[in-house]
């Protein structure tokens, strides 16, 4: 190919043209999202029921003079505000990470002069140069290339680099038109490269076709910005429940003030009684418990190598029904490894700890010789690793050989060759590798032998392996090569340049090619090697007398323990779906290897593109493997699953996963190999990139889910007798009031720690990972659970009222009755705490189950009760009269009876259904 670097095609834009395009189109970066103002965020927070409840509860405490408790609750107002600000900042960070990745340095040609500029200054139409190891600064079309390969795994999820071709005149119109119709990343022999991808081999001259938000990576940024995060099911349920309770509580409070004032003629005490009832009915523990559970839950999950970026994901994790996982870097290690070899007669499966037979050494020997010395390409790295593992200190290592010529990969010949000379014998050795069909062609194979090798190739490819062929040729020092070549038949790089100026530009453009040819040579030998390259060696690698050496099968290895993690997910009723940019045959083989269900069928990206949302929602019910998928389609898959009522967890590590991570109910990013974009968009981050850590996180999420239900059940149960005791005496003029605000505050000292500490620290149920997650349409804490909890509370209320009535009937004074009733209420409270620690174990099993927080909370409550019954100051404060030990014991026994029916119920009812549904 004759190139004129002085032509307009290669001279690039002028500085004036570039500046004008920047003025019109903007810089080559993603636009920053406009941050919401403090007032906007504050207004959104202020509309939430939990926020209103915190403010109302804190204000009530301040009104009754309990400044400390009031200020503590009001502090949570700022916690809620802080969480909202954090979420806003997280979105900005994700977009900034995209912006940084999309703007590396770039070598451009403007006015025929090379310049290195910031990637953000590249504009459409710019001519720029890429070499091995460069990050692509903008979407571009390839004008000229030598052996160009790019790693586009950040965009496609495919770990194998793709081969690039040039944009020639024959394809000009068609490809330009195709580009307008959204050509996607991935696939060999396409003349496009994409912003953010990495050049792993070769070099090229390119023209920028899209910058900033118009690039493929920019489209992901736009999709990420547009994704709306939905409130979690628990948050929506608690908001509705709190709203209803708040309305009920306030209504009852106003009614109580009116009734008290009318029946007793005392407005002030009526107001205090109303506040007492409001405090008893308004479960201000809800927001406290949610905050504490999620905060401590995040800490516990972090001990399992999972970082919680979004606290609400902790409760959602326990109810996940589908886990969508990217293959590359999540299920696999995101690196290639030599898995199988074929030497022309038999196969060998490579095992790291196993032996490596001598008949297969030559395959690796010539595979290494035909690769770069310090390769970027993942497959060449894998071959080099085989050399390090098995061939060191053998005759198959040739560090003293000099590489004198390289024949690059081309569209017409999908193989590359490198020529070496033995400095002692002067013998020339040629090593070639490439597509098996190309190697067969180089070796001039035919007939039965070619059919035999082709069959071996198909067998390896059918198991999901990437297959390379390897060949060799030997030229003795004084032998003819193959045929006589004149200098005219040889092709020199210098022939392509019409002037020294052009040659200087080309020398920089293709420095990698030049250095590849000469890097192994001393200065003394350079002149000789150049003459050999131009005159003695053929122009076409096809003219060597190659002999077939063997086949190399490579794969992206499965991560350790992935099979076990998938099995545990299946046992837990969690469906695992693999979404990958890889080919279907590879994806299905991986699915079979890790044990996915329905591993014989898949849906490709092309099929996905033509499906409607309704059609996909139907097909996705039976398909667990998606192959050749692009970022927008991953988002479509997640949305279809959510439309089917699934709670979706999505794992991923690349830029391509960010929108789906944000759209999923739970986004799980990889911490070590994941991108900043993925981590900033996710709810959870796996710090060790271990898929099995997800199972541990789900186990912990279910434990938190269960314990949170127990805590909420306890809150409902204990508020029933408190509210009942506050309300009942109001309607009977002659009955003394039992509870005043001071008693409620004392009860809160038990209730809050019990909910937030005892239940949070409770051990997981034995069948936590052998039961399916709850149904999506089943409320987190539905009416059946509310009725069950309130029934427990009613039993406690009945016992306490019975003690109250017996005390009055037997002639006890008002203060003594209050002391007896309050002691019974505390005993009932403790009994409810213990019984609700497990909804499957009986009380005796619960008592022997360790939970260090129980002794501190229960012990502290008992000590404080004793003090309130003995210390004169506290007796006056609580309006008690001293009662004897026997009376305290009777009250304790009476309070303990409140859980008898629930214990019987657990034995005969819940045990039958637990194996199917758990406590849900």
CA distance 566 to 685: 19
Assess contact for 549 and 366: CB atoms under 8 A: yes
Residue 429 tokens, joined: 């050795």
Structure tokens at 274: 């109303």
Please report, for residues 101, 226, 375, the alpha-carbon distance to residue 95 in angstroms, rounded to integers and kept in the order given.
Answer: 10, 12, 32
Q: What share of the chain is helix, strand, coil (3-state, %, to 5)?
A: 55, 15, 30
Would you state the pLDDT for residue 456? 96
Query: In this structure, what token pair is assigned to residue 881?
Result: 């009269």
Residue 789: which of 799, 801, 797 has the closest Cα?
A: 797
pLDDT higher than 50, residue 179: no
578-588: average pLDDT: 85
| Phi (first) and psi of residue 612, to 5 degrees | -80, 165
Is residue 685 over pLDDT 50?
yes
Helices within 664-813 (DSSP H only): 676-681, 691-727, 741-753, 783-809
User: Cα–chain-centroid distance for residue 368?
Assistant: 36
Nearest alpha-carbon partner for 744 in 242, 255, 263, 249: 249
Predicted local confidence at residue 480, as pLDDT: 46
Nearest to 193 by CA among 182, 181, 180, 207: 207
Residue range 844-869: mean pLDDT, rounded: 88
Q: What is the dihedral of CA 874, 879, 882, 886, to 10 degrees?
A: -110
- Read off the pLDDT band of 276 (50, 70, 90): low
Pairing of strands 139-151, 192-193: antiparallel
Query: What number is the average pLDDT over the span 542-561?
Result: 91
Identify the pLDDT of residue 288: 66
What mean pLDDT is reported for the chain?
Answer: 78
> Which residues does 724 contact at the CB level (< 8 Å), separation at least 6?
797, 801
Largest alpha-carbon pair distance within the chain?
127
3-state secondary structure 829-893: HHHHHHHCCCCCCCHHHHHHCCCHHHHHHHHHHHHHHHHHHHCHHHHHHHCCCCCCHHHHHHHHH
Q: For residue range 381-417, what is the model confidence (pLDDT) as tens digits?
A: 999 999 999 998 888 989 889 888 889 887 778 899 9
Band (803; pLDDT cuts 50, 70, 90) = very high
| More confident site: 417 or 506 | 417
Query: Is 436's pLDDT higher than 90?
Result: yes
Nearest to 631 by CA among 253, 329, 217: 217
pLDDT in tens, 11-62: 888 899 999 999 998 888 765 545 556 666 666 656 654 455 556 656 765 7
Residue 298 has a pLDDT of: 75
Question: What is the rounded distance in angstroms from the CA atom of residue 513 to the CA atom of residue 499?
Answer: 20
Q: Which residues contact 778 (CB under 8 A, 6 or more apart)?
A: 920
Residue 140 · residue 206 · CB < 8 Å: yes
- Dihedral of CA atoms 334, 337, 339, 341 in degrees, nearest 10, equals 140
Cβ contacts of 121 within 8 Å, gap of 6 or more: 18, 22, 27, 28, 106
- DSSP character at residue 476: -
**CA–CA distance, 631 with 397 (Å, rounded to integer):** 43
Quote the tokens at residue 173: 């119109």
How far is it, in rounded angstroms, from Cα 421 to Cα 476? 10
Confidence category of residue 533, pLDDT binned at 50, 70, 90:
very low
Quickly state the pLDDT bin for 285 (edges 50, 70, 90).
Answer: low
Top pLDDT among 91 and 476 is at: 476
Q: Between residues 537 and 546, which one has the greater pLDDT?
A: 546
Beta-sheet strands, E only, within 292-438: 306-308, 322-326, 337-342, 347-349, 402-407, 415-421, 428-434
Q: Is the pLDDT of residue 522 over 50?
A: no
The pLDDT > 90 percentage for the chain reads 22
Pairing verdict, β 306-308 and 322-326: unpaired
Q: Is the pLDDT of residue 173 over 60?
A: no
Identify the CA nearest to 348 among candidates 380, 377, 386: 386
> Which among 778, 751, 559, 515 has a CA at the least distance from the CA of 653?
559
Question: DSSP 3-state assignment of 342?
Answer: strand
Burial class (CB in 10 A: 0-12, 13-18, 19+), 527: exposed
Place 235 in a pLDDT band, splitting at 50, 70 and 90.
low
The whole-number pLDDT of residue 362 equals 95
Neighbouring C-alpha atoms within 13 Å toward the C-beta of 175: 17
- The pLDDT confidence band at residue 620, using thresholds 50, 70 and 90, is very high
């Amino acid at each position: 190919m004759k190139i004129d670097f002085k032509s307009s095609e290669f001279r690039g834009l002028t500085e004036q043209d570039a500046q004008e395009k920047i003025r019109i189109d903007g810089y080559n970066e993603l636009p920053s999202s406009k941050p919401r103002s403090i007032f906007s965020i504050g207004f959104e927070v202020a509309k939430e029921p939990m926020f209103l409840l915190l403010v109302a509860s804190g204000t009530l405490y301040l009104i009754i003079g309990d400044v400390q408790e009031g200020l503590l609750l009001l502090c949570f107002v700022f916690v809620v505000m802080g969480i909202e600000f954090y979420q806003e900042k997280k979105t900005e960070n994700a977009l900034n990470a995209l912006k940084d990745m999309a703007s590396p340095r770039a070598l451009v040609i403007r006015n025929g002069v090379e310049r290195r500029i910031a990637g953000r200054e590249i504009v459409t139409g710019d001519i720029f140069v890429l070499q091995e190891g460069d990050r692509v600064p903008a979407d571009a079309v390839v004008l000229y290339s030598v052996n160009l390969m790019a790693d586009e795994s950040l965009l496609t999820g495919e770990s194998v680099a793709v081969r690039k071709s040039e944009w020639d005149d024959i394809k000009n119109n068609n490809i330009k038109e195709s580009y307008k119709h959204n050509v996607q990343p991935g696939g060999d022999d396409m003349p496009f490269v994409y912003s953010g991808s990495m050049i792993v081999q070769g070099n090229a001259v390119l023209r920028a076709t899209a910058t900033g938000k118009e690039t493929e990576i920019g489209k992901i940024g736009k999709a990420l910005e547009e994704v709306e995060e939905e409130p979690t099911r628990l948050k929506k349920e608690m908001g509705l429940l709190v709203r209803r309770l708040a309305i009920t509580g306030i209504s009852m409070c106003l009614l109580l003030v009116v009734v008290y004032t009318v029946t007793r003629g005392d407005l002030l005490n009526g107001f205090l009684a109303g506040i007492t009832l409001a405090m008893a009915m308004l479960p201000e523990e809800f927001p406290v418990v949610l905050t504490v559970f999620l905060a401590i839950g995040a800490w516990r999950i972090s001990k399992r190598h999972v970082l919680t970026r979004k606290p609400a994901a902790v409760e959602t994790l326990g109810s996940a029904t589908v886990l969508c996982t990217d293959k590359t870097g999540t299920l696999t290690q995101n690196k290639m490894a030599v898995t199988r070899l074929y030497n022309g007669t038999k196969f060998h499966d490579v095992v790291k700890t196993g032996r490596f037979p001598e008949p297969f050494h030559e395959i690796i020997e010539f595979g290494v010789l035909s690769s770069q010395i310090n390769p970027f390409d993942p497959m060449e790295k894998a071959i080099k690793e085989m050399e390090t593992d098995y061939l060191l200190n053998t005759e198959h290592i040739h560090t003293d050989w000099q590489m004198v010529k390289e024949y690059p990969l081309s569209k017409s010949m999908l193989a590359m060759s490198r020529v070496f000379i033995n400095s002692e014998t002067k013998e020339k050795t040629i090593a070639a590798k490439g597509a098996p069909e190309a190697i067969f062609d180089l070796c001039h194979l035919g007939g039965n032998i070619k059919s035999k090798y082709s069959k071996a190739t198909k067998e390896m490819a059918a198991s999901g392996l990437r297959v390379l062929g390897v060949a060799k040729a030997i030229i003795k020092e004084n032998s003819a090569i193959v045929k006589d070549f004149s200098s005219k038949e040889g092709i020199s790089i210098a022939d392509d340049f019409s002037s020294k100026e052009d040659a200087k530009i080309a020398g920089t453009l293709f420095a990698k090619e030049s250095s590849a040819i000469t890097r192994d040579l001393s200065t003394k030998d350079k002149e000789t090697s150049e003459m050999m390259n131009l005159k003695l060696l053929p122009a076409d690698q096809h003219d060597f007398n190659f002999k077939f050496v063997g086949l190399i099968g490579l794969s992206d290895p499965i991560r350790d323990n992935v099979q076990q993690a998938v099995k545990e997910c299946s046992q837990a009723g969690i469906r695992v779906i693999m979404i990958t940019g890889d080919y279907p045959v590879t994806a299905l083989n991986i699915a079979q290897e890790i044990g996915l269900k329905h591993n014989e069928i898949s849906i490709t990206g092309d099929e996905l593109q033509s499906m409607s949302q309704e059609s996909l929602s139907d097909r996705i019910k039976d398909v667990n493997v998606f192959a050749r998928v692009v970022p927008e389609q991953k988002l479509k898959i997640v949305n279809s699953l959510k439309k089917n009522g699934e709670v979706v967890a999505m794992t991923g590590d690349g830029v391509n996963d960010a929108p789906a991570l944000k759209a999923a109910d739970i986004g799980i990013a990889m911490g070590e190999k994941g991108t900043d974009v993925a981590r900033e968009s996710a709810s959870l981050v796996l710090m060790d990139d271990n898929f099995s850590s997800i199972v541990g996180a789900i186990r912990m999420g279910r434990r938190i889910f269960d314990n949170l239900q127990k805590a909420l059940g306890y809150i409902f149960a204990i508020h029933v007798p408190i509210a009942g005791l506050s309300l009942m005496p109001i309607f009977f003029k002659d009955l003394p009031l039992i509870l005043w605000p001071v008693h409620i505050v004392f009860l809160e000292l038990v209730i809050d720690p019990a909910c937030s500490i005892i239940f949070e620290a409770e051990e997981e149920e034995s069948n936590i990972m052998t039961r399916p997650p709850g149904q999506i349409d089943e409320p987190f804490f539905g009416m059946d659970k509310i009725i069950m909890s309130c029934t427990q509370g009613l039993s406690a209320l009945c016992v306490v009222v019975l003690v109250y009535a017996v005390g009055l009937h037997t002639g006890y004074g008002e203060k003594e009755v209050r002391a007896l009733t309050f002691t019974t209420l505390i005993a009932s409270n403790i009994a409810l705490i213990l019984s609700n620690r497990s909804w499957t174990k009986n009380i005796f099993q619960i008592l022997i189950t360790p939970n260090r927080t129980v002794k501190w909370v229960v012990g502290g409550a008992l000590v404080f009760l004793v003090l309130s019954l003995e210390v004169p100051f506290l007796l006056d404060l609580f309006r008690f009269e001293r009662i004897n030990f026997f009376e305290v014991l009777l009250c304790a026994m009476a309070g303990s009876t409140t859980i008898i029916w629930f214990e019987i119920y657990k034995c005969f009812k819940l045990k039958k259904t637990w194996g199917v549904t758990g406590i849900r």
